[in-house]
Chains A and B, each alone.
Chain A
Amino acid sequence: MKRALPVALGLLAVALALYPLEATGYGLRVGLQLFMWITLAQSWNLISGLTGYVSFGHVVFFGTGAYTASLLVNAGMPWPLACLSGGGAGALLALIIGWPCLRLKGPYFAIAMLGLNEVMRVIVSYAEGLTGGGNGLSLPTLDASRSIYYAMGLVAAAVTAVTYAIVTSRFGLRLMTIREDEVAAEAMGIDTLRYKIYAFMLSAIGPGIVGGLSARDQGYIEPISVFPLIMTITMIVMALFGGKGTIWGPVLGAVVLFIFQEAVWARFVYLHQLLFGAIIVAVVLLMPRGILGVLQQKYNLLRTI
């Protein structure tokens, strides 16, 4: 049984890698977006699932990455590097926000994150000279969907691998103690502020990079397209549904809800969002640990799932 999992994963990886050879433009875009959502859900999980500090404004890192990467591409930088820089920008922003805001207990951090998205949108609109303001920012046209598909896939895999590494290490355990009992964690010598900031910065890199990749793929961004509240909502639902605090939970949630989204979204926007809200409420009340969390408990599975 233990052998089967890596083999299955390997086969899956091969299938995903070969997919673009057969897929249409639409099909590629779907795959690319799925990888993006996996990255986002998984990244949100790193801070909120492990430490219990709910980040309501996580999409701000996506938008920051998008703008950073776009500006760099327009300045001549090759897009892979620009997107990685987007991740760096995300981490930097996380440090700047996290340093004052993570000092406090959960509710206060949530408050700070709630308003952050709006503020970033305002700042970006205001700094018109740099960011094109409400008119948006265009990038030189490039048909690189296939490469971006692979890039997104790599990022999704990387974030999942990082999550695995963290959850199976003492660093991850320490993050979890913050969620379990922060006062006791402090009393046991864990510098909770430092760990929270590390987790927060790590959780901002993924969104930063895929923000850049998404911008490169679309060829055009504007404030409202890269700081949408629905993105925060979606990544939270995905991670919650699949199982926050687990490794594969966000992946599961992303896949299931992405399919759901493709089916319902285009036609019934408000119904879709309403359902997401209802799912969040239902998950919190009925299965707070998500699907994988429930399975973990029932079958006493390892945490490495």
Chain B
Amino acid sequence: MAPILEVRSAVKRFGGVAAVNRVSLALEKGRIYGLIGPNGSGKTTLFNCITGVDHVDEGLILLNGRRVDRLKPHQIFHLGVGRTFQVIRVFPELTALENLLVVTTAGYAEARRRAEELLARVKLERLAGEFAGNLSYGQQKLVEFIRVLMTDPDLILLDEPAAGVNRTLLNDLLDAVRALRDQGKTVLLVEHDMKVVMGLCETVFVLDHGEKLAEGAPGVIQADERVIEAYFGR
């Protein structure tokens, strides 16, 4: 079966530095992948290139076999890709409900129904009319997460979903991610919290200084000497 996402020898430079250097990876449908690496290893840059916020200088990015590396972010979104951001980017002066309504082109009634359903799923119904900027960190994080789900994307990219989140909320999020996988969605997440990665991801990619260092099951990666070296130094 063709991979849902393929990155072939992607290179992205900023000034003289290659933030992403010949990275290749392939994601199969219906699995949860992790992308880890020390700070500055190029993870968010890679995310940005996949979602069109940035463009690769060399290499290809293919979504369901179709080249997307030159498309604009909104075009890639409509091909079924959703993402969250490292620093939460909800729209602060829109209410939680409006944050959800704004992303879908479905009819108003249907969009509203779906938005309310998603809000209920994360137990935020009573905050639907609250300005997103007034919500707590955890609540904003949830809104950003369900916002991604509004249009039912097939590929979901999560940038540090566990950052700053308390235990209970985190477990809810992880359960939600597993549920998505069970529905046949593909999830790629960038994460620093090793426990989360090891417990959730089926395959893990390791980046270091913009290059792919290793790829494999969590247990294997954990024991890989090169990975340990990259994180903790020689």
Direct touch of chains A and B (CB < 8 A): yes
A174 to B99 CA separation, bound complex (whole angstroms): 10
Asked if B125 lies at the interface with its beta carbon under 8 angstroms from chain A, I say no
B residues contacting the other copy or chain, number (CB 8 A): 24
Residues of the A chain whose Cβ atoms lie less than 8 Å from the Cβ of B101: 170, 173
Q: Assess the B91–A187 pair: CB atoms within 8 A.
A: no
Measured as residues with beta carbon below 8 angstroms from the partner, the interface class of chain A is 10 to 19
Closest residue of chain B to A169 (Cβ to Cβ) is B108
Q: Are B74 and A186 in contact (CB under 8 A)?
A: yes
Contacts known (A177-B102, A187-B53); A170 close to B108, Cβ less than 8 A: yes
Which residues of chain B (116-136) have a CB below 8 Å from chain A? none
Residues of B within 8 A of A174 (CB): 102
- Contact A180–B74 (Cβ < 8 Å): no
Is B73 in the interface zone, CB < 8 Å from A?
Answer: yes
Pick the contact of A173: B72, B74, B92, B94 (CB < 8 A).
B94
Residues of chain B lying within 8 A (CB to CB) of residue A173: 94, 98, 101-102
Asked if A186 and B72 make an inter-chain contact with CB atoms under 8 angstroms apart, the answer reads yes
Q: Is A22 an interface residue (CB 8 A)?
A: no
Q: B71-112 toward A: CB 8 Å interface, digit per residue (1/0)?
A: 011100110000101000111111000100111010010000
Q: Chain B: which residue is nearest A187 at the CB level?
A: B73
How far apart are the CA atoms of A173 and B103 in the complex, in Å? Answer: 10
Binding site for B on A (CB under 8 A): 170, 173-174, 176-177, 180-181, 183-192
Given contacts A170-B102, A173-B101, contact A186 B93 (CB under 8 A): no
**6 A-B pairs with the lowest CB-CB distances in the bound complex, closest first:** A189-B77, A184-B89, A186-B73, A180-B91, A188-B103, A173-B102
Which residues of B are found within 8 Å of A186, using beta-carbon distances? Answer: 52-53, 72-74, 77
Q: Which among A180, A187, A190, A192 is the interface contact of B83 at CB below 8 angstroms?
A: A187
B212 to chain A, nearest CB (A): 24
| Bound complex: CA A131 to CA B74 (Å) | 43
In the assembled complex, B141 has its CB within 8 A of some CB on chain A: no
Cβ A184 vs Cβ B85 within 8 A: yes
A180 and B72 form a contact (CB under 8 A): no
Give CA–CA (A174, B102) in the complex, Å.
6
**Across-interface contacts of A185 in B (CB, < 8 A):** 91
Docked-complex contact B89 and A192, CB < 8 angstroms? no
Q: How far is the CB of A129 from chain B (nearest CB, A)?
A: 43
Interface centre among B77, B83, B90, B91 (most CB of A within 10 A): B91
Question: Which of A181, A188, A191 counts the most B-chain CB atoms under 10 A from its CB?
Answer: A188
C-alpha spacing A176/B147, complex, angstroms:
17
Residue of B nearest to A194 (CB): B74
Residues of chain B with a CB closer than 8 A to A170's CB? 101-102, 108
Is the Cβ of A191 less than 8 Å from the Cβ of B102? no
Q: Is the CB of A181 within 8 A of B53?
A: no
- Whether the Cβ atoms of A176 and B94 lie closer than 8 Å is yes
Q: What are 29 A-B pairs at a CB distance below 8 A?
A: A170-B102, A173-B101, A173-B102, A176-B91, A176-B93, A176-B94, A177-B94, A177-B102, A180-B92, A180-B93, A183-B53, A183-B73, A183-B89, A184-B85, A184-B90, A184-B91, A185-B91, A186-B73, A186-B77, A187-B52, A187-B83, A188-B102, A188-B103, A188-B147, A189-B77, A189-B78, A189-B105, A191-B74, A192-B74
